[in-house]
Amino acid sequence: GIKPEDQNKLFKPFSQVDSFSSKKFQGTGLGLSLVKQIVQLHDGYVWFRSKPGEGSIFAFTIPRNGDKDKEGNTGQNQ
């Protein structure tokens, strides 16, 4: 999982949570930032749950047809 103090970095471009000395995976830090931007362009949203020592779950939703009611619901059962 991701420490609470690191969670605000997750969707920032070129930001990575792992410190340089303990980094296990290489990357640019763009993946989640791009996912968030693409999902938002489709009127969706991204969220996650994370517990340090247990793991993280990331999910997103995108409306089927872009129509939303006055509460922001897409007509789907969520």
Residue 71 included in any domain: no
Cα–Cα distance for residue pair 44/33, rounded to 1 Å: 14
71 DSSP 8-state letter: T
pLDDT score at 20: 46
**Domain ranges, residue 33:** 4-18+27-61
pLDDT score at 9: 87
Tens digit of pLDDT per residue, the chain (78 long)?
A: 889 988 888 888 887 776 444 556 677 888 899 999 999 999 999 999 999 989 999 999 999 875 665 566 655 544
pLDDT score at 72: 61
pLDDT score at 44: 96
Domain count for the chain = 1
Residue 74 included in any domain: no
pLDDT score at 78: 45
Cα–Cα distance for residue pair 2/23, rounded to 1 Å: 14
Residue 68 included in any domain: no
